[in-house]
Every structure is written in C-alpha cells, then in structure tokens.
A and B are shown apart, each in its own frame.
Chain A
C-alpha cells in the first residue's frame, strides 16, 4: 500500500528549481532514510508532504489524496526546530496534542516522559535545547500515525539518549505505518533503515534497500553517502 506517492514533482522558489522531477513511493511497514546534504531539496520535499508548501508542478498523494486536513491527521511530523509554544508547560503541550489529534496516546506520552526523567510541570522555556527536542519527539511518537516524518530526531540529543530514542522509534514501527528519517548522523541511524533515499541537487540519485547496497558495494551507508557527495 503506497502511503506517499510523488509523481513528476517539481518545486521552484521563484526561478530557482529546488526539486526536479521527483518520483517516489513510500510504502507502509518500512523505515526510510532520506539522506542528502544541505540545500539538496530534502527539507523542501518534507515540507511538500506536510502541506507546508505547494508543488510548482506534478503531484503528491498521501493515501491517494492531495495533502490537506485528512493527510495531516495521519502524518506525525517532527521538524528540526522547536515548534512548541515556549510559554506552555509540558502537561499543556500534551493537552494541546490531545485536543487536536484524535490518534494521540496521552498515557504513552507520559510514560515516555517519565522514562526520560522529564517533569511534566516544567515550562518549556526553562529547558535545555536537548530536553526540548526530546519532548517534541515524545509528542510526535505518541501519536498513532500512518506516516512519521522525523527531521534530525537525534541531532541535538546526547549520545546516551540517542539509543533510547532509536528504540522508541523502532517500538512505534508497525506494519501499517512508515517512518521517514532525515538525518546527517547516518552511521548512528543506518542499522535501522530498510531503504535509503539519496537526494542531491533536487533529484533523487538513489533509492535502494540498505542491506542490498551494503552487499553490492561492501561499504556502510555512511561511506557510500560520503562517496556520492564528495565535494
């Protein structure tokens, strides 16, 4: 079942072509790595899937429909930045997610916070960047979504918590959902990826099973990435 389908997708910012003829299928039950350097069009593609941008040409279909309110119900998005209202307490952000998302699991969110030693009565603005990122991840992973899009989920997090976060991501994995992870920390994450998608200069240059690549090229995904994107 194709959850996300991009057909001949183009996106321009003014005259600048940021995405060129993207053709991509994201199927359920898989974990994808969306890998590419800064400026490759990675973030633009993610925004398009999330209906934060409108295509210049071509189509994006989420579960067969154009991005909109229905797709937002089933996509759980973790952007690179902190998108919560800093004046809120953690418990208030949980109420917020509960209010707007039917598929939000409040109990799970509190459990995850407890395991990460985060106090629900703390205000976001008193927290370190790393803790804020953990809170966001908890909120995003506590939704029973069909598509999880995680942009740098372990980026600002200390190495000790990274494993826990990867475990949380794996635990959320189910046959009906797909997870798209976009990251620079490829070597930390690559062992959990089913498929890897390399994007460069607005085009997809590689879309392959991770293990198949390792078998063919006898290298890690990280090494293959460095090869493909040598300056």
Chain B
C-alpha cells in the first residue's frame, strides 16, 4: 500500500509553479493546489486566527459576549482535525459512519488513563490515543464494512452505544463512569515546555500559549497529510469508490480493503484529535467523548463546512463551536442554542449545497475570473 502513497510526491512535482505566464490569475491557478501552498495557507490561517477572531473584535469594541476566546480557538482546531479525518470517509469515500465517537472517545480515555498511570508527556499521550483509535477502527471497520449504506451507519452506531455503555458501567472503576475521568496529568512537552505557558517573544495578540502552537502544528500536519492522501493515487481510488463502487471493483481494485484503510485513516485523525482534546482539558467527560451525540455532531460539522473539501470541515467546526459555546452563553437566546444550531444547519444546507467551503470556492472562482481568467 505504501508504495502507492509514495508516488504522491512525483505528482506534485509536476505542478511546480513555472514563471512564464504574467497574469496573476495564471500564477494562482498554477500554485493554488500545490502542497506547499496548501500548507502555507494553513499556517497563515492558524497563525492569524487568534488575531482576527479574538484580538481585533475586542479592539473594534465588539461586546465580549459575542467574541471568541483563545481556548475556544484551540478547541475548534481540535474538532477541525476530527472533522477533517471524518471527511476523508464521508466526503471522499462516501461512507456515512455514525460511530466516530468511538475513536474520538476511546483515544481520549486511553490518553487520559495513560497520562495518570504512566507518563503525562503530550506526545506519548497522542501516540497511545491514536494507536488505540487505529486499533478500534481496524476491528470495528473490519466487521461493519461488510455491509454498506444504512446498514453500515447503523452498525457503527450500535458499536458506539455498546462502547459507551461499557465505559459507563462495567469499566466505571477505571473510567470514572458518569463523572468522567478526572485524574488526567498532562506533563510538559519534551520535559521542558509547559503547554499552559505563554510563548516567549510572541505577543498575546497572536498566540496566547504553547497549547495553541501545539494544536496548531497538529492541524497543519493533518492538513498536509490529508492533502497527500487525497492527491495520491490512493485518494483517486477512494474517489472512484465513492463514485461507483462496482466499477472500481471491476477494474480489479480490492474495494473492501481500500474502504477499510479509509476507515482506519479517518479513525487515526479522530484519535489524534481525541488525544489533543484531553491534553487541552485535562479531563475526559463521557458525554462529550463517547456519547452518540458526538457522532452526530461530527456529521453536522462536516456537512456545515462542506462535504468533500479539505478545509471545509475546519470552518464547520468553527461555526459549530461558536454556536455551542458563545451563542449558548448569550443572554435570552442562549438557552435556545440547539434550536439556533438547527436553523443555521438548515440555512447552510439550503443555501450552500456544498457547505461553507463550497461558497468560498465559488467566491474564489468569481474573484479569479475578475482578475482575468476568461479563457476558462
């Protein structure tokens, strides 16, 4: 399998920018899908988000009850990674899983319990959490992927509920049951960097703590890896499966194996995100990790952002987090935030069939046309 992924680098080498065409549009067309451009855009986005969403609104005098705060941005990136991985499955392979809480949740518990008993090193926690999620995805994918469509969705949901109850009661002594796991002990990164601390030489207006840098780095890495997967022959096979599973099979591809691998990859992203979630909170609440509502949330986030796009789910996570954490704290309307989320969801689905990112793409094309791309 790895040999196929390896060839991705060559594919990208072909799309290196060539400095021949003078128009801005041409140049943009050449580089805008390039891996380093994607990485640069992600870095820029992650680096500027705190300034644009937290500092600027405050300085412009936006009342604090409408504005973002640093922890929430970190949380959004974490959910963004989760959603990005989910979209690999839903958007690019065409599999609707209703059990992704399993991978997010078990990795959170694994990382949390590991930190309490072995070591609190954030990287070790991520490793343990992600491996747990991969293992779970392997087992559950292996069983559930024997069926497609609604049967697959229901099977994953059933597994999700099963694991939720196992963690709630029979394993209650280890997991803390309904109280959640409270013994998380997050240590410092490489033994020196305390994630809660400020980053020296960087103004708070941009980055408030190492935690954001850490999670931001994970986000950038996830985007790059996601991009690689999608632009490799492997990604092409996944899309072929999404478009027509039978045809892919007739061509001679082992469809089941590809689907299982997509499921595991997506589980790994969920595992990374779940471990980061525990590192950020130092607490594993069961309702927000293993409960089936999490599996629903991630579908909502992905659809809001735009199914089948790389960046879309991150924006979906942002919108969802804003409604769930900021609108819910506003006076009067706060109590109806679930309803508001429903209305937002309907509005997005009705007016933006490809989610927020679909609209951004559309706008980008308009702008590109205006700059001078009429030969298209």
| A and B are interacting partners | no
Chain B residues close to A by CB (< 8 Å): none
